[in-house]
């Protein structure tokens, strides 16, 4: 499973490298990437129904690193699609204000999840078994109500949060370049 996901990520990243994120067709391109990444994740979800990880370390690796890499790219393209389709028409100042508001929402997410950001960015592993093994959700640690709606075979308490961190970092770079 590790190698298969590694190959998928390599292929997706090669495709992303070919995309002009600032071109006129970014709406169609982002929509195409959303469909592609969603199909890959759905295929993985199906495989996970019967897959047994050889070790808990492999399961942690999948939910801490591999799945969030794919899901983060999906969230990134979804956010680009939403931002570009909802971008107001008007002066450059109006558009700058809109893009700055999008950056502010990234800061808001960061501030609301600061403890987890610190855990993740410091490469800590002390809580990995609670955060990245299925069936280990501790609601005293998790303040995200979305946990009640997750597929228990394809989600842990925090893989989505890692994906959102990765997507937000890519989106921050995207928005800052658009503002230049």
Residue range(s) defining the domain that contains residue 97: 2-179
Which pLDDT score, from 0 to 100, does residue 144 have? 56
**Mean pLDDT of the residues in the chain:** 91
pLDDT in the model for residue 151 = 80
> What digits encode the pLDDT tens for the residues 140-178?
565 554 554 578 889 887 999 999 999 999 999 999 999
Distance CA 17, CA 10 (A): 11
Residue 65 has pLDDT above 70, yes or no: yes
Q: What is the mean pLDDT of residues 65-78?
A: 97
Specify burial of residue 95 (Cβ count, 10 A radius: 0-12, 13-18, 19+): middle
Lowest mean pLDDT among 14-28, 63-77, 143-157, 158-172: 143-157
Mean pLDDT of 52-66: 96
Q: What is the pLDDT of residues 106-141, one digit of tens each?
A: 999 999 999 999 999 999 999 999 999 988 766 556
Mean pLDDT of all residues in 21-44: 94
Q: Report which of 176, 46, 165, 43 is spatially closest to residue 111, judged by C-alpha positions.
A: 165
Three-state DSSP at 21 gives coil
DSSP 157: S
Nearest-angstrom CA–CA distance, 177 and 58: 36
Residue listed under structure tokens 């992303």: 16
State the DSSP string of 72-94. HHHHHHHHHHHHHHHPPPS-HHH
Contact call for residues 102 and 83 (beta carbons, < 8 A): yes
Total domain count, the chain? 1
Q: Is the pLDDT reported for residue 98 higher than 60?
A: yes
């Amino acid at each position: 499973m590790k190698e298969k996901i590694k190959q998928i990520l390599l292929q997706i990243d090669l495709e992303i490298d070919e995309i002009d994120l600032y071109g006129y067709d970014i709406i169609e391109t982002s929509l195409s990437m959303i469909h592609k990444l969603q199909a890959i994740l759905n295929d993985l979800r199906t495989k996970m129904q019967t897959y047994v990880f050889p070790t808990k370390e492999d399961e942690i690796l999948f939910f801490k690193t591999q799945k969030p890499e794919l899901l983060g790219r999906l969230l990134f393209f979804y956010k680009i699609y939403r931002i570009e389709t909802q971008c107001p028409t008007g002066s450059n100042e109006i558009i700058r204000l809109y893009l700055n508001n999008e950056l502010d929402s990234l800061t808001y997410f960061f501030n609301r999840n600061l403890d987890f950001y610190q855990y993740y960015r410091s490469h800590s592993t002390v809580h990995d078994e609670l955060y990245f093994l299925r069936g280990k959700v501790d609601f005293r640690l998790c303040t995200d109500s979305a946990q009640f709606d997750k597929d228990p075979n394809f989600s842990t308490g925090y893989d989505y949060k890692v994906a959102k961190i990765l997507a937000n970092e890519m989106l921050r770079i995207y928005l800052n370049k658009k503002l230049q």
